[in-house]
Amino acid sequence: MLTLRQLFLSHNAQTTDFPLLLEVERAEGVYLYDPHGKPYLDLISGIGVSNLGHGNKRVIQAIKDQAEKYMHLMVYGEYIQSPQVRLAEKLISLLPDSLNSVYFVNSGAEALEGAMKLAKRYTNRREVIAFHNAYHGSTHGALSVMGNEEFKQAYRPLLPGINFIRFNEPDDLQFITNETACVIVETVQGEAGIRVPDISYLQALRSRCTVTGTLLILDEIQAAMGRTGKLFAFEHFGIIPDILLMAKALGGGMPIGAFISSKEIMDALKENPILGHITTFGGHPVCCAAGLAALEVLIDDDLIASVEIKSNLFKELLIHPAIKEIRGKGLLLAIELESFNFNKKVIDQCIANGVITDWFLHCSNSMRIAPPLIITEDQIRFACKVILDAIDQEYQNK
């Protein structure tokens, strides 16, 4: 009989020849457990999803309760489904006044697609500006605004009218003009290896968009839900986007995304033609119920309050001559090492020793540190020891 691993490799589509191949039996808190009961400390949260940790009881209860009431009823936006309404209401209560209309979708990439369409409709312009090293998802539209040629060249032709500028480079803001429908930017660049822009830069970007009538789309798919030490990353920078993108941790482990704007802008999807964005499963009631519970846990348990302290502990502990830099904000961190080769060996060693980490799509020499926000100081100390031991071993072997 074939093992699960053999079946996985033969029947489940693979996108590399080197998947992590960790078999997970169950997950709880900050740990994943393999079939032998071996715990693995999760330092990547399923790539920015499990901000509350795994198996949060309130989220699970909300999922069960909603599944028993109803699951899918109708394509998005027709029936009044209380989980969608309550989650939108909660999000809006936590956002600035101008962000008061929520469109729920299924994923981050779909949030990006919806927002790009909305910006074109509202401004009646065609040009889009995106950033070098940006990552916004893997659909054709999202690939079109990805700032890394290597990953998109095989899929051309992509969307026309996309221009790229440098992140955190004020000189390039001049390329945003009266022809630009929208600027799409990650508030903190993620797959670029966690790049935090200057406050003055994001403020200048905001001003340039306002002056040119361009919509500013902030992608916080990876950075929202407390990850950077504020509920929304833009709060660090004193700016408000015209459209905000969320997904990943929004569903508390369930798949959901959202693009959020003002009612005035969002109304552009209503006419000429009607039905400006259609999705069958977007805002699935079970996902919305989970999302509402996740937001309530995040706030009621005050999980964001300790993010900065935990971030500083990682930065204090992770000192080694092989570490070139630690970048990031809150619990969205990157450790830069000398090369992909070195990084990959350290990552493999960490995983073998029970600490899961990873590298970044556009920055393969850096290691990802983005644990559930509930990680304790002792768990951080343990993780850092495993990482430092692995780095040291590679460093000595060189």
**Out of 219, 242, 358, 394, which residue is the one contacting ligand PLP (CB under 6 A)?**
219
Which stretch in 26-34, 219-227, 233-241, 384-392 sits in contact with ligand PLP by CB under 6 A?
219-227
What part of residues 112-171 is at the interface with ligand PLP (CB under 6 A)? Answer: 135-137
Omega within 30 of 0 (cis) for the link into 273: yes
CB half-sphere exposure, 326, CA atoms < 13 A:
20
How far the first Cα of the chain sits from its last, in Å, is: 42
Beta bridge partners of 243: 217
Omega within 30 of 0 (cis) for the link into 157: yes
**Out of 50, 84, 222, 379, which residue is the one contacting ligand PLP (CB under 6 A)?**
222
216 binds ligand PLP (CB under 6 A): no
What part of residues 318-377 is at the interface with ligand PLP (CB under 6 A)? Answer: none
Shortest separation between residue 227's beta carbon and ligand PLP, angstroms: 11
* Nearest residue (CB) to ligand PLP, 135 versus 167: 135
How distant is the alpha carbon of residue 269 from its chain centre?
Answer: 25
Shortest separation between residue 143's beta carbon and ligand PLP, angstroms: 11
Alpha carbon distance 272, 227 (integer Å): 39
Shortest separation between residue 48's beta carbon and ligand PLP, angstroms: 6
**Out of 109, 129, 184, 387, which residue is the one contacting ligand PLP (CB under 6 A)?**
109
Query: What are the backbone dihedrals phi and psi of residue 264, each rounded to the nearest 5 degrees, phi first?
Result: -60, -45
CB count within 10 Å of CB 36 equals: 7
Helices 285-300 and 57-69, axial angle in degrees (round to 10) = 150
Single-letter residue type at 374? I
* Nearest residue (CB) to ligand PLP, 164 versus 342: 164
**What tokens were used for 11?**
């029947």
Q: Which residue's C-beta sits nearest to ligand PLP?
A: 108
CB 59 within 8 A of CB 294: yes
With tokens 């009612």, the residue in question is 263
* Nearest residue (CB) to ligand PLP, 47 versus 317: 47
Compute the Cα dihedral for 120, 123, 127, 133 and give only its sign: negative
- Binding mask 34-63 toward ligand PLP (x if CB under 6 A, else -) reads -------------x----------------
- Binding mask 162-191 toward ligand PLP (x if CB under 6 A, else -) reads ------------------------x---xx
* Nearest residue (CB) to ligand PLP, 291 versus 386: 291
Q: Which residues bind ligand PLP (CB under 6 A)?
A: 47, 107-109, 135-137, 186, 190-191, 219, 221-222, 247
